[in-house]
Amino acid sequence: MNKQEIQQAINHLTMLRRLDSGEKKSIYDTAISALTQQLTNGWIPVDSKLPEECRDKHGVLIPYLVCVSETERPFRAFYDGKKWGDGMFELDVTAWQPLPEPYKEAL
C-alpha cells in the first residue's frame, strides 16, 4: 500500500468506528493504530503522545529513539516525565519511538 491508500484506509476505519456503537471499537482502534504506525514508520509526534513509562523496574531512565528539529539523524535520548534530554542537554524532541529489542542469535 502506498501512503495515500493507507491514509484512505485510516479515514474509512475512523468513519466506521464512529458509526459502530458496539464492542468492535477496539478492533477499529487496533487497525487504525497499525496503519498509522505503518504510515509514520513507527514515529510518534510528541504533540500527539508522550511515553507512558519513563523508568524501568529498577528506576533507571528508559532510552528512546528520537528526532529533534536541529538534526537530520535520529539518536537515543531519555524522557523523565517532564522533559527530554540526552544526558547532557535538554532537547527539543519532535517525534519518538521505543528502541527495538536487542539482537538475539537464532538457535
**Alpha helices (runs of H) in the chain, residue ranges in sequence order:** 3-19, 25-40
Say what percent of the chain tops pLDDT 90. 43
Q: What is the pLDDT of residues 66-90, one digit of tens each?
A: 999 888 899 999 999 999 999 999 9
CA distance 50 to 81: 9
CA distance 93 to 66: 6
Q: Whole-prediction pTM value? A: 0.65
Count other Cβ atoms within 10 Å, centred on residue 83: 11
Residue 4 has pLDDT above 90, yes or no: no
